Amino acid sequence: MTPKIMIILGSGSDIAIAEKSMKILEKLEIPYSLKIASAHRTPDLVREIVIQGTNAGIEVFIGIAGLAAHLPGAIAAYTPRPVIGVPVDVKTGGVDALESIVQMPYPSPIATVGIDRGDNAAILAAQFIGLHDDEIRQKIINLRKNYALKVKNSNEEIIQKIE
């Protein structure tokens, strides 16, 4: 199936965060592709895969990076599609990456999620696609309902334990 989401990693060492995204996208059955491309070390590769991806129908890009995390901004420079940024905790508790991603100037926003939150990046991407894809929107609603149920159930389990 043609991927709708492209996950780009700034470095192979951030793969664990990407796997959080992949796990959710597979649960939601949304096809995606995964790339490694560095804004600083392979800028032309970033340019190429983003332009190609946009042309090939990628709807949302997810950029995952730590430290001076420029990858999401570099993606946004080459596509009109929304870009989600995931700051990775490598140093300073991930605050360096968070500020490098979220503080983008006008008119180049990055939809930033929490530090190391590959899972939420996938949910957010699905929400964007869900704006015009009723099936995916329904899947998110179900996923959230199930998670809410899980919270409620964990509740009951604890009450039973302490009573």
In terms of CB distance, is 56 or 131 closer to a second copy? Answer: 131
Q: How far is the CB of 56 from a second copy (least distance, A)?
A: 15
Exposed, middle or buried, 64 (CB in 10 Å: 0-12/13-18/19+)?
buried
Q: How far is the CB of 126 from a second copy (least distance, A)?
A: 9
CA distance readout (Å), 24 to 53, 60, 72, 142: 21, 15, 20, 13
- CB contact at 8 A, 48 and 74: no
Q: How far is the CB of 160 from a second copy (least distance, A)?
A: 11
In terms of CB distance, is 52 or 92 closer to a second copy? Answer: 92
In terms of CB distance, is 56 or 147 closer to a second copy? Answer: 147
Q: How far is the CB of 61 from a second copy (least distance, A)?
A: 11
Query: CA-to-CA distance for 129 and 120, rounded, in angstroms?
Result: 14
| Token code pair at residue 14 | 């951030």
In terms of CB distance, is 52 or 108 closer to a second copy? Answer: 108
Interhelix angle 134-162/118-129, rounded to 10 degrees, is 140
